[in-house]
Chain A
Amino acid sequence: MSITLKINGETRTLDADPESPLLWALRDELGMTGTKFGCGIASCGACTVHWDGVPIRSCQTFVGDLEGAEITTIEGVDGKAATAVQAAWNELDVPQCGYCQSGQIMAATALLSETPKPTDEDIDAAMDGNVCRCATYARIRKAIHLAADKMEG
């Protein structure tokens, strides 16, 4: 089955099993490995990408449903919020093992795009689906607040 969609602004054609999760199409068919495999059941958020700007779990999003979709991955995420988030992540040395951080950054970017000045409760609500087994959560929280400051400034 052939599906045409936009990934990071580029039109791509996927010739893949419609039942294949977007995650594996990105990683194995397109060679974009920034989006990570963590659980396969949408419980950890490591595979988070944006569909029309909305954070989704690519392990539970299927190729057959994506005709015409606009997908953004960690490789292509851009704009004011993403730039601020990545800068804050670097400034505070957020990552440890780093494996979840693509997903964390995609989720945080989506949050700040919608809510430029999030409260701790907003952060909990937006980020609770993104697991970090190194438990870098205290820094993720700080970095989101720092990114919000950067976006203002």
Chain B
Amino acid sequence: MLHLLQKPLEAAKPTRRTFLKISAGTVGGLVLAMNLPRGAEAAAGDGELIQPFVHIRPDNTVVVLSKHLDKGQGTATGLTTLVADELDASWEQVSAEHAPSNPQVYANTLFGVQGTGGSTAMANSFMQYRQAGAAAKAMIVAAAAQEWGVPAEEITVSNGVVSHSSGQSATLGDLAGLAAQQDVPAEPTLKTPDQWVYIGKSFPRVDVKNKTVGAPGTYTMDFQRDDLLVAVVARSPRFGGKLKSFDAAEAMKVPGVVNVLQIPNGVAVVAASTWPAIKARDLLEIEWDDSEAETRSSDAMMAELKDMTGKPGVKVREDGDVDAALEASDRVIEADFEFPFLAHGAMEPLDAALLYDGETAELWLGSQIQTIDHNVAATILEVPFEKVKINTMWAGGSFGRRAQADSHPVAEVAFLAKAMLAAGMDPAPIKIVWTREDDMAGGYYRPMSAHKIKVGLDADNSVTAFKYNIAAKSIVKGTPFEAMLMKDGVDHNMTEGAHDTTYAFPLMNMDQSFQETKVPVLWWRSVGHTHTAYVMETMVDRIAKEAGKDPVAYRLEMIKDDPRKVEVLKLAAEKAGWDTPAPEGRHRGVAVHKSFGSYVAEVAEISFRDDGTVKVEKVVAAVDCGTPINPDNIRAQVEGGIGYGLGAILRNQVTLADGVVEETNFDTYEPIRISDMPEIEVHIVASNEAPTGIGEPGTPPIGPAVANAIAAAKDDWVTNLPLTKAGLV
């Protein structure tokens, strides 16, 4: 299936100038960049100002079109903030919708295709969405000037009200129709930061109301139509297994079951509603061909990884002869780390809905990389790109899971829709529901990995050499992302946060080795940083301990050329009272890490329960993510990022027995719960730098901060995760 994807990645080249030139038709789907005559805009809008990123309607509502998937990270609110600020709309009149799939208009300017990930949403949209708001405002002002016969320079807009000293005043909605007939300014004037009314001021989330009343039509899982059919799919229990034969006789007897159909990756039970499909799937008799499947246990796979780290691999970083430097050192600290597979476990299991009539297709899903989803659907259904429409739904979490290189949920529902037509069924919308077990046992995990570290110290306890060998399955090697994300055979996603460390080690070498397995792997909130931050930050703590230095003081000494990192570390230490003893019975640990352009330091305060298990009591975080667009959302993302990372290091792992996943639901893959959640303080560094990521950067430091707190009590750093393995949970 991967060959299908070469095309989409080449499909859309972003251009900075197209967005202002797109007009009315963009709501419908694919529209190529073009200059529409002014009259056409007005006619299409019918009293409405329609621009690619913002619509102003005659009823005085302002709708911001989010080109990014909002899966909880608050992107729709962030983009709305940018437009509302430059437009000077009132926050009550704005709302957000997901934009159509259209790479020419809505590409992530850092990806070249429409997609969300790598904590890039605000970084790539900051100028674009402000320009969209400013352009719309300029058109509104021009309309008012025309209507009132006054110079545009004398018109002001504030909180959604357009006014002139003559006493004239109007709403944005009043002027929308006339605004649509104005020229779109090529370079609208943007506000200076001192003029911002919303940016930096915690604009309320635009999606909270719907999410507190169970509003219909929010998530893909809730997609309903009278003629909707629902399917669940029986997939191979082993990764890489193939369907040999099946018997659907018993399944077909379940009332409500409409059909049972073979698709390339398994057997789909199609029913009038969800429950009969689930019930009938249990009655299928299936034989699988495991001849090409992964049949190893995860223990055997880990043994292979550990073996790989003992041998040279692909050179990621090579400062010099590290072995000679280690040999010449006074002493060497060695450590071997093991990280398990992790499932994303988003609350909304995977799902996708499709209506295909043989000529056109309409999809409903939490599409994270719309351009790939779009191309995969078009290719499998053998219809032109413009005959496919994607409705991007709000997603019940993702944490990376919905951003696949192969769009496998879309591929599956497309193959099923084709099979339905081929079986003589009338066209009807079909929704594939993944049960929790399907989702959790379905792979696309954070890769398991082994890390071998050797650090040389001289007689003064200064580091002489740092040797880092890592082994894991690459997320990108062998996928369409390889061309984009690998360079000279090196996968930097695997080693980010380590090979590019700013700790001033005089000599660092890093090798990587690639495990081959049919277990699909994927980015999991913060990708390579999920393991490299843990390794680097616990190793630095060990080195500080060897040197008899305070962990914060030692770090400050070693990162003095990285001023933003220094600042967050100092801020977290200060707010956590690092210079004062921890309260009785508590122990502190610290970690600081840069990811996705943002700097986060965290101080964890832990205690031990009577049974020796760890309770994380409190976390104090400091973050520098450039210009803080929405401080309250930054706090929310760091709180959530800490919780997400903490749950994983406490007790999460996916293991395989003879190739079959052992943890298939929340009873065995126990998520973090409210009783596990520490008190969290988040402090934000004031900054005028360009905005950087915040969805992921809160996650990497929490693991090592907790491990370092444990070590503060026990002088022993956990190297084999999760902490359950050490009896600490």
Interface majority SS on A: helix, strand, loop or mixed?
loop
* A41-B436, A131-B347 known; A139 vs B636 contact (CB < 8 Å): yes
Contacts of A32 in B (CB 8 A): 214
Q: Which of A31, A74, A97 contacts B347 (CB 8 A)?
A: A97
Contacts of B347 in A (CB 8 A): 36, 38, 44, 46, 97, 99-100, 131-134
- Please tell me if the beta carbons of A98 and B394 are within 8 angstroms of each other in the complex: yes
The interface size of chain B toward A, counting residues with CB under 8 Å, comes to: 68
Contacts of A65 in B (CB 8 A): none
Contacts of A134 in B (CB 8 A): 72, 347, 397, 640, 643-644
Q: B663 to chain A: closest CB distance in Å? A: 12
Q: B201 to chain A: closest CB distance in Å? A: 13
Q: Does B275 sit at the interface, judged by CB under 8 A?
A: yes
Q: Does B632 sit at the interface, judged by CB under 8 A?
A: yes
Contacts of A133 in B (CB 8 A): 345-347, 397, 399, 644, 671
A93 to B437 CA separation, bound complex (whole angstroms): 31
A34 to B222 CA separation, bound complex (whole angstroms): 8
- Please tell me if the beta carbons of B674 and A127 are within 8 angstroms of each other in the complex: yes
- Please tell me if the beta carbons of A75 and B275 are within 8 angstroms of each other in the complex: no
- Please tell me if the beta carbons of B643 and A135 are within 8 angstroms of each other in the complex: yes
* A28-B274, A99-B347 known; A123 vs B397 contact (CB < 8 Å): no
Contacts of A27 in B (CB 8 A): 222, 274
Q: Which of B221, B279, B398 contacts A33 (CB 8 A)?
A: B221
Q: B616 to chain A: closest CB distance in Å? A: 12
The residue in chain B whose Cβ has the minimal distance to the Cβ of A102 is B214
Q: B401 to chain A: closest CB distance in Å? A: 11
A149 to B74 CA separation, bound complex (whole angstroms): 27
Q: Does B679 sit at the interface, judged by CB under 8 A?
A: yes
Q: Which of A31, A96, A130 contacts B640 (CB 8 A)?
A: A96
User: Contact string, A85-120, partner B, CB cutoff 8 A, digits 1/0?
Assistant: 010011001111111111001000000000000000
Contacts of B672 in A (CB 8 A): 135, 137
The interface size of chain A toward B, counting residues with CB under 8 Å, comes to: 57
A114 to B184 CA separation, bound complex (whole angstroms): 58
- Please tell me if the beta carbons of A74 and B213 are within 8 angstroms of each other in the complex: yes
Q: Does A10 sit at the interface, judged by CB under 8 A?
A: no
Q: B628 to chain A: closest CB distance in Å? A: 15
A57 to B224 CA separation, bound complex (whole angstroms): 22
Pick the interface stretch among B54-62, B203-211, B449-457, B599-607.
B203-211
Q: A1 to chain B: closest CB distance in Å? A: 11
* A24-B275, A96-B72, A139-B636 known; A128 vs B214 contact (CB < 8 Å): no
Output the residue of B208, B216, B217 with the most chain A CB within 10 A.
Answer: B208
- Please tell me if the beta carbons of A90 and B667 are within 8 angstroms of each other in the complex: no
Q: A58 to chain B: closest CB distance in Å? A: 12
Q: Does A20 sit at the interface, judged by CB under 8 A?
A: yes
A121 to B224 CA separation, bound complex (whole angstroms): 40
Contacts of B643 in A (CB 8 A): 134-138
Contacts of B80 in A (CB 8 A): none
* A33-B222, A34-B213 known; A93 vs B346 contact (CB < 8 Å): no
User: Contact string, B184-220, partner A, CB cutoff 8 A, digits 1/0?
Assistant: 0000000000000000000011011111111111110
User: Which of B392-416 touch A at CB < 8 Å?
Assistant: 394-399
Q: Does B680 sit at the interface, judged by CB under 8 A?
A: yes
Q: A31 to chain B: closest CB distance in Å? A: 6
The residue in chain A whose Cβ has the minimal distance to the Cβ of B72 is A97
Instruction: Kindly list 17 other residue pairs between chains A and B, CB separation below 8 angstroms, not including A32-B214, A34-B215, A38-B436.
Output: A34-B216, A38-B666, A41-B436, A44-B436, A86-B213, A95-B212, A96-B640, A99-B346, A99-B347, A133-B397, A133-B399, A134-B643, A135-B672, A137-B674, A137-B677, A138-B639, A140-B674
**Which 10 pairs of residues, A with B, have the shortest CB-CB distance?**
A34-B214, A135-B643, A99-B396, A97-B72, A98-B211, A74-B214, A96-B72, A28-B273, A33-B222, A137-B677
Would you list 24 pairs from A and B whose C-beta atoms are within 8 A, ordered by A residue? A19-B279, A28-B230, A31-B216, A33-B216, A36-B221, A36-B347, A40-B435, A40-B437, A73-B214, A89-B208, A93-B636, A96-B637, A98-B207, A98-B394, A99-B219, A100-B396, A131-B666, A133-B399, A134-B347, A135-B677, A136-B643, A137-B643, A137-B677, A139-B636
Taking Cβ atoms with an 8 Å cutoff, the residues of A that contact B are 17, 19-21, 24-25, 27-29, 31-41, 43-44, 46, 73-75, 86, 89-90, 93-102, 105, 123-124, 127-141
